[in-house]
Amino acid sequence: MLKHVSFLSGDLPATLAFYERLGGVIEKDVTTSEGYRRAVIRLGEGRVQFFQIAHEVPMPHTHWAEHLALHVSGLASLLSDLRASGVTITRDLQPSPGGRDMAFVLDPDGRQVELLEAGA
């Protein structure tokens, strides 16, 4: 069973704010004994852990096939709000292979995030 996934972040406050806007809840935000800032955000039943490590800049993978996928409610409205706030939309609203609305956006670190309409 998957416990969490973990990523580096170049701007942890911006990254946490982005995922909170998508429905995430910050469960932990601490400094490790190594001096790294570490945060865990709950997204539904899953967890994503982010580390901000001084002097290390993450090199994101930007192909859409490597991504986080999140169920969200009101995707069309959320996408409009994200676009208005400057979030980069990499694949605009379209039907997913399963027939639900979906879109892809970039998080503050350039990581692809698939947004998939929740529901039936």
Predicted TM-score (pTM) of the model is 0.81
Domain extent listing, the chain: 5-117
pLDDT tens profile 49-100: 998 887 766 666 666 767 888 999 999 999 999 999 999 999 999 998 788 8
Contacts of 95 (CB under 8 A, 6+ apart): 101, 102
- For the domain spanning 5-117, the CATH number is 3.10.180.10
Amino acid residing at 70: L
User: Beta 5-8 vs 25-31: how paired, if at all?
Assistant: unpaired
Closest CA to 101 of 86, 84, 79: 79
pLDDT tens profile 20-54: 999 999 999 999 888 889 999 999 889 999 988 87
